[in-house]
Chain A
Amino acid sequence: MGMARFLASRLLKGVVVLFAIAVLNFFLIRAAPGDPAAVMAGEAGAADAQFLQQLREQFGLDRSIPYQLGVYLKGYATLDLGYSYRQQRSVAAVVGERLPATLLLTGAAFIISLALGSLLGILAAARAGRWSDSLITTAALVFYATPLFWIALMSQIVFALKLGWVPNVGYETIGAHYTGLARALDIASHLVLPALTLGLFFTALYARMMRASMLEIAGADFIKTARAKGLRPSVITRRHIARNAILPIVTLAGLQAGQLVGGAVLTETVFAWPGIGRLMFEALVQRDYAVLLGVFFVCSAMVVLFNIVTDLVYRVADPRIEAA
C-alpha cells in the first residue's frame, strides 16, 4: 500500500473513531448523578428552585437531550469545542491555557523515561544474570509496582521538605515575577519532582520491556550468524539486537505519546501542576460537561494521531512491515 493511500485510510478511520467517541462521551458523562447546576448550588450552600432553574437555563440543561447532542456535534464538526458557563470562557481557551504546562510535564517525563528506560534495559540485557542486571530489574519492579501518589508525596517530603532541594508544588514561584532565564530555571526546578515521579513508572516499564525484547532477539539465529562472522559484540548489540528489539518500545512509546495531552491526573493533582489532567479531574467533579467533553475530545484526537504516527515509525524502523 502506498504511503498516501495508507495515510488517507488511517485518517478516515480516525475520524469515524473520533465521532463514535464523541457521541459515547456525551452520554457517558450524563449517566453520572448530578449536573453543573447541582454542583454550583452545592458549593454555594444556598439555593432555591428559581436559582437552580436559572443555572440550568444558562447551561442549556433545560433543553432536550437530542437538542443538546445536536448543538454539541454541530459545534465539534466546525472544531468549536463549546463554552464553559462555569468558567465564563470558551472551552478552547480553557484547554489551550492548560496545554503548555501539560506538554512540558508529560514531554519531560516521556523523554526521561524513554531514554533512561531503554538504556537501562539494554544494560540489563547485556549483563544478564549479573548483579547490575538484578539491581536494574529489581528497581524497575519496585517503581513499576509502587503507587504513584505515594512516590509523589514521599518525594515532596524528602526532596522539598527535608532536603529543601526543590519546590514541592506549583508551576513557578508565585509572586517572584521572574523573567527570561531566571523564569525558565524557576519552572525547571518546579518540574523536577513531577517529571521524575511520572517518568519513573514508564522508565521501569521501558527497562523491563527492552531487557526482555533484547534477550529474545539475542537468541535468534541471525545473531548467532553475526557472531560466527566475527562481528564485535558492541556492533551486534547496537546494530542487530537493539534495532530489532526496539519495535515493542515504539509501540509503548506510541501509547505513551498518545496520552501526553491527557496529562497525568494524579501527578498534576498532587503537585498542583496546572495542566490538562487536573483540569479534567476538576471538570469531572464540577460536572462541567463542556470542558470535560472538550478535554476528552482533544485527548482522543491525540491518541488517534499518535497511533497513526506509530504505524509510520514502524514502517521506518522495520522495512518488512512496509513490504507486507
Chain B
Amino acid sequence: MGDTGTFLMQLWKKTASLALALALLGSASALAQTPKKGGVAQVIVTPEPPMLMQGLNQTGPTNMIAGNIYESMLRFDDKLQPMPSLAKSWKVSEDSKVFTFTLQDEVKWHDGKPFSADDVVFTLDKFLREVHPRWRPIVNNQVEKIEKTDDKTVVITMKQPFGPLLFAMEVASAPIIPKHLYEGTDYKNNPNNNTPIGTGPFKFKEWKKGSYIQLVRNPDYYLKDKPALDEVYYPFIPDAAARAVAYETGKVDVLTGGAVDIFDVPRLAKLPNTCMTTKGWEMFAPHAWITPNVRNGILGSKEFRQAMMYAIDRDFGKDVVWNGFGKIPTGPISSKTKFYSDNVKKYSYDPKKAKELVKASGYKGETIKFLGLPYGETWTRWAEAIKQNFADVGINMEIVTTDVPGWVQKTSNWDFDLTFNFLYQLGDPAIGVSRSYVSGNIAKGNPFGNVGGYSNPEADKLFADAAVAPTPEKRQELYTKVQQVLAEDLPVLWLLELEYPTIYRCNIKNLVTTGIGVNDGFRDAWKE
C-alpha cells in the first residue's frame, strides 16, 4: 500500500471514530431529551375507516385512529403486561373471580362532562353487551355482575375464575363510551357516532370524507404533560405506490403497518431520517394460516393435511414473499401470545415425506380449490408459491379469486376447499385463539369462527378448562396440551406469525410504546 493508501486508511479510521463518537453522543442526548410540545404528524391509515365510534366498529383503520380518541381501563406493554389507562390501579382476587378497578381522577369527556364509574358500568354491562361481538360472549358467559362501589371504583365479579378478563380491557375490545350521550338511544344511529366523544389524549376535529381525518390535542387530558403533539392528520391515499411516493416526498410522516407493499419496505426503510419497527403488534399477534374445509373429501384426512404441511416451504414464504418479516409458527398460539409452547410436533419442509403421506391418504388427484385472500399482491404471490409446492408433491390446486365481500361470504358459508385466513390473537388464547378451533364455534355466517369444521371433544374440553383454570401454571399446562393435540391433527396449516413494519420519520419519538403500537401511540409521541 502506498502513501495515498495509508492516508486514506487513516482518514477512514478517523472518520469512523468520529462517526461512532457522534452516534454515541446522539443516542446519549436522545435518552436525555425531554418531550417537546407542539408539532403535527401526518399518518397513513388505509383504507378509510367506516366510522370512528370504536364501540360499534372494530375494523383495523377504526382502531388505529379511534384508539387515540377513546380509552379503556388498561393499556399493555410489548410484553403484554397491563399498564394504567382509565384505571389508575386494579386488583384481582386470589381466586381470579373479582376484579376491582380504581379510576383516574379528574377525567373529563371531550364535551367537558365529568367521567365516572357510571360510564364504565354502562359501557361494559349494557352498551358493549349489545353491540360488541368479542365482548358479548365474555360478559354473557363469564360475568356475574358489574357494579360500581363508588364514583371511582368498578367491581367485576365473574361466575368462575377468568384470568383473560384483563386482556379484554384493551381499548379495541372495551372502549369506554359516554353514558350521557348513549343511554336510552338507538346506539347504531346515534348522531354522536359521527363526532366521537371520548376521554383520550386527542379530540376529533374534522373528517373530510375521501381526504383526511383531523384530531387535535385534548387540552383537558388528565395527564397534564400529555399529549405533546398539537394535531394528528390521517390522509387517505388508496394506492400503495402513491402512498410510498407521498412518504418519499415528505407529505406524510408515518406509514402504519400494511400501508405499503411489503416489497417496498426495505427501500423505504433506507431513506434518510427514516426509522422502522415491527414492534407494536404484540397484542394482536396476527397469525396466518390455510384453513382446510375438513368436510370436503380428502381434506378430512389427517394424513393429507400433514402432507400439505410438509409440502409447503414456509421459509420461502417468509423470506421471499414476506421479505423476511415474520416468524414460522409451531402451532395455534403465537410466540407473542400468553401460554405459547413449542413442545409440539414440528413440520419442516419435506417434499419426500409429503409425497409418502399423499399416497397413504388415498388422494386420487382431484382438484382442490384454493380461495385466495383479496388483501393485495403479497397474498396472491403466496398462493402461487403454495400452488407450486403442492404441484411438486402431486397435489392439484386451483386458485379461485374474489374480492373482500366475496371472500367473507364464501368463507362464512363454508364454500371453499382451502383458504387463507389470519386472525388477531389479542393477548390470551381464550379471547383470540380458541374461537377458530372449538366445535361450538362451527356456525355459518361467521368468517372468523371455526369455518373449517374441525371438531375434537378433547380439544374443546382443554380450551374450555384452560380459560377458567384458577392459576397461570394450570392454564399453561392445559394450553400446552391443546397445542400438542392440534399440532398433530392440523385443523389448519399455520404459515406465519405476521409482522407489520411501521415506517416513520426518526424525529417522531416514542411513537410505539405499547403492545398495540400506533393504535394508542400518539398519547406519548412527540416531534423533535
Contacts and interface: CB of A to CB of B under 8 A. Distances in A.
Interface of A: 32-35, 38-52, 54, 58, 85-89, 94, 97-98, 101, 153, 156-157, 160-161, 164, 167-171, 174-175, 269-272, 274-275, 278-279, 281-282, 285-287
Contacts of B137: 48
Contacts of B42: 174-175
A322 B297 CA distance: 71
Contacts of A168: 242, 245-246, 249, 251
Contact of A274 (B210, B233, B424): B210
Contacts of B60: 43, 45
A41 B242 contact: no
B58 A46 contact: yes
B241 interface: yes
Contacts of A47: 133, 446-448
Given A49-B446, A87-B209, A278 B188 contact: no
B520 interface: no
B504 interface: no
Given A153-B242, A272-B237, A279-B210, A44 B248 contact: no
Contacts of A98: 209-210
Contacts of B402: 33
Nearest to A171: B211
Contact of B133 (A42, A51, A157, A174): A51
Contact of B233 (A45, A175, A285): A175
Given A45-B58, A48-B137, A157 B50 contact: no
A269 B238 contact: yes
The 9 A-B residue pairs with the shortest CB-CB distance, nearest first, are A34-B405, A274-B210, A42-B408, A43-B59, A33-B406, A51-B133, A38-B408, A272-B237, A34-B409
Contacts of A272: 211, 235-239, 242
Given A161-B249, A272-B239, 11 more contacts: A33-B402, A42-B407, A43-B404, A45-B424, A48-B136, A54-B131, A156-B245, A164-B249, A269-B238, A272-B237, A274-B208
Contacts, number: 168
B59 A33 contact: no
Contacts of A156: 241-242, 245
Contacts of B134: 46
Interface residues of B, number: 57
B212 interface: yes
Interface of B: 40, 42, 47-48, 50-51, 57-60, 131, 133-134, 136-137, 188-189, 193-194, 208-212, 214, 231, 233, 235-239, 241-242, 245-246, 248-249, 251, 402-410, 412, 423-424, 443, 445-449
Contact of B211 (A33, A42, A174): A174
Contact of B237 (A40, A41, A170): A170
Contact of A170 (B189, B193, B194, B251): B251
B405 A42 contact: yes
Contacts of B209: 87, 94, 97-98, 274
B133 A48 contact: yes
Contact of A38 (B48, B235, B412, B449): B412
A88 B189 CA distance: 7
* Residue in B42, B193, B214, B445 with the greatest tally of chain A CB atoms within 10 Å: B445
Contact of A286 (B50, B131, B241, B410): B50
9 contacts: A47-B448, A49-B445, A54-B188, A89-B194, A153-B241, A167-B251, A174-B212, A272-B237, A286-B405
